[in-house]
Amino acid sequence: MQNAEKQPVKQEHYAGHEITITRIPGDAASSTSAEHPAYRLFIDGKVVPRKGSPSALVHKARSLIDQRAEDLQILPRLVELIDGRRSPSGLSEIGQVTEGDIVWVLARGHWRCGLVTKIARVRVTVSYTTYRSMSRVFHKVCLPRDLRRDVGRLATSAGSSRPPAQPADHVAAGTTASHGPSQHPEDTEQVAFEDLKVNDVLVRGCGDGRRARVLRPAEDFTDPFGRAMRQYWCGAMDGTAKEGWVPYGPGGTTLRLQRDAVEADFRSAMDDLGKTQESVEALAPLVRRAAQYFVAARAHGRFEDASEHLVVAMEAAAVAATCTSTLASLALRVRQLWSHPLGSHQGAAVGCLPRDAADPMVLAALRVVREAGITMAVLPDKIRPLWSWDAEFGSDGSQGALVWSSGSSLTVEWIMGGRSGERCLTRSQVPAVREVRNLAFAQLEEVFRDAGWNVATCGSTNTRTRRVVSLQVGCTAAEPS
């Protein structure tokens, strides 16, 4: 249909909102004729996808405005009830429900805690919201037999979303009208959200005891109601790469995993890793879960005597590596370093070549890079000679720094897309890749100079723009031991 000018048909104001109906005339190229024109509904200037006659559209618009007003009235209450769990364990079936009851319903792949807002002859409507959509109310229509109630197996840390006006002692108890008294596992401790630090492991307390590791310090934000809140960026501890925000309000509390429990969970994960067969699907999540607990335990002063190769491999598995095959290759390396550290090299190489794994100068350089928070390249378990890397390495490794011995000094390269150079790149890809690699080399140069190393930059003379190829570094002090 041609872009015919919209013709206003009806316009009115209802409950402080503007409702506009426009008519789009038909043409010869459209099935819509002048006798049966198409109408479009606008509420406050925004298109609402509804069809019908002008009178029907006005009726639908009024119903939508009334529904939004009702949602805004119950939204603060629903924010208090935000909770979710993957399974109905700890929930009991419901015989009868009344309007205003707090129930659990299966919606959008999770069991959600919400409020019964409407009861019809056969079905009931449960309203709920989520952390990511706290300005929107969702409605789930279902049968009463599909609802559940919480039996208090593990209370929710409701302090993360309580309004500031609620008493702090009630928030600290972590209970709601449907939750029983808080039951803390023996390996956790209840702490204020403000006391959490980076790499602390918190138990979300959503019935199934989901755990997350704090990855960043707390940040301030304002929720849809104008309340001052804070939030942590956390990563799941279930062997996946899921990350997200965990918000909380004043007086909020949560359960934190004790340090001894973090170490015990790491050792348990390593036992599972040692018993698992060498399959990509099985090894990848296990090594990521073990690495997440290792990083958390090491932040609390555990495993300080671990070898540098084990530390860099664990940090790569926890943070940098995302490819499943790369994680499986890392699992073989981690398992070998944990059970047989003096044995022959197995699995992936992180940050350096296997031939240089025992070089004290290389180990010292790896420590400098790791302590600066710079990622290291992960090379697959089938390592090719240096001259054939660009052709054989592939792109399934994580990008980062690579250190290898070149006699009396070390060469530091930056791997991107499985390559240390610009071969096989299109002309449009070269500028972006070159800029990123130059910035990475500038950061590495600063880190090594601050650590007291001699640094020389090796660049290309065949390009119009500056292109750093590698760094040559060497110790100024005595050889590292």
Q: How far apart are CA 250 and CA 174, in angstroms?
A: 13
Tokens representing 164? Answer: 């500031």
81-150 and 158-257, same CATH topology: yes
> Which of residues 249 and 294 earns the better pLDDT score?
294
pLDDT score for 432: 83
Beta-bridge partners for 17: 14
- Taking residues 69-86, report their average pLDDT: 80
pLDDT score for 442: 92
Beta-bridge partners for 40: 22
Query: Which architecture does CATH list for 158-257?
Result: Roll (2.30)
DSSP SS3 for 352: strand
pLDDT score for 125: 93
CA atoms within 13 A on the CB side of 422: 20
- 241 CB neighbour count, 10 Å cutoff: 13
Q: pLDDT-derived band of residue 7, with 50, 70 and 90 as boundaries?
A: low
Contacts of 62 (CB under 8 A, 6+ apart): 14, 15, 19
Q: How far apart are CA 455 and CA 449, in angstroms?
A: 7
pLDDT score for 175: 29
CA atoms within 13 A on the CB side of 358: 6
Decide if pLDDT at 393 tops 60: no
Q: pLDDT-derived band of residue 163, with 50, 70 and 90 as boundaries?
A: very low
pLDDT score for 27: 52
Q: How many percent of the chain have pLDDT more than 90? A: 11
Tokens representing 225? Answer: 């109601």
Q: pLDDT-derived band of residue 38, with 50, 70 and 90 as boundaries?
A: confident
Decide if pLDDT at 88 tops 60: yes
Report the amino acid identity of residue 301.
Answer: G
Q: pLDDT-derived band of residue 410, with 50, 70 and 90 as boundaries?
A: very high
DSSP SS3 for 476: coil
**Burial of 256 (C-beta count, 10 Å sphere; 0-12/13-18/19+):** buried
pLDDT digits (tens, 9 = 90+) for 176-198: 323 333 344 678 888 888 889 99
Q: How far apart are CA 238 and CA 288, in angstroms?
A: 8
pLDDT score for 26: 58
Read off φ and ψ for residue 276, nearest 5 degrees: -85, 140
CA atoms within 13 A on the CB side of 295: 27
Tokens representing 200? Answer: 């602390």
Q: Where are the beta strands (DSSP E) in 262-397?
A: 349-350, 378-379
Whether the full predicted model's pTM is greater than 0.85, yes or no, is: no
Q: How far apart are CA 201 and CA 214, in angstroms?
A: 7
Query: Which architecture does CATH list for 81-150?
Result: Roll (2.30)
Tokens representing 401? Answer: 């720094």
pLDDT score for 157: 34
pLDDT score for 25: 66
Nearest to 172 by CA among 230, 229, 253, 255: 253
Q: pLDDT-derived band of residue 41, with 50, 70 and 90 as boundaries?
A: confident
pLDDT score for 322: 66
- Domain residue ranges of the chain, discontinuous segments joined by +: 7-75, 81-150, 158-257, 351-475
Could you give the C-alpha distances from 270 to 263, 314, 318, in angstroms and in order?
11, 12, 14
pLDDT digits (tens, 9 = 90+) for 270-306: 888 888 776 667 788 888 889 889 999 998 888 888 8
Beta-bridge partners for 472: 411, 456
Question: Per mean pLDDT, which range of 97-106, 159-168, 472-481 is the poorest?
Answer: 159-168
Do residues 39 and 24 lie in contact, with contact meaning Cβ atoms separated by under 8 Å? Answer: yes
Q: How many percent of the chain have pLDDT more than 70? A: 80
- 385 CB neighbour count, 10 Å cutoff: 7
Stated as kind and residue range, the H or E segment containing 188 is: strand 188-192
DSSP SS3 for 7: strand
pLDDT score for 434: 87
**Burial of 477 (C-beta count, 10 Å sphere; 0-12/13-18/19+):** exposed
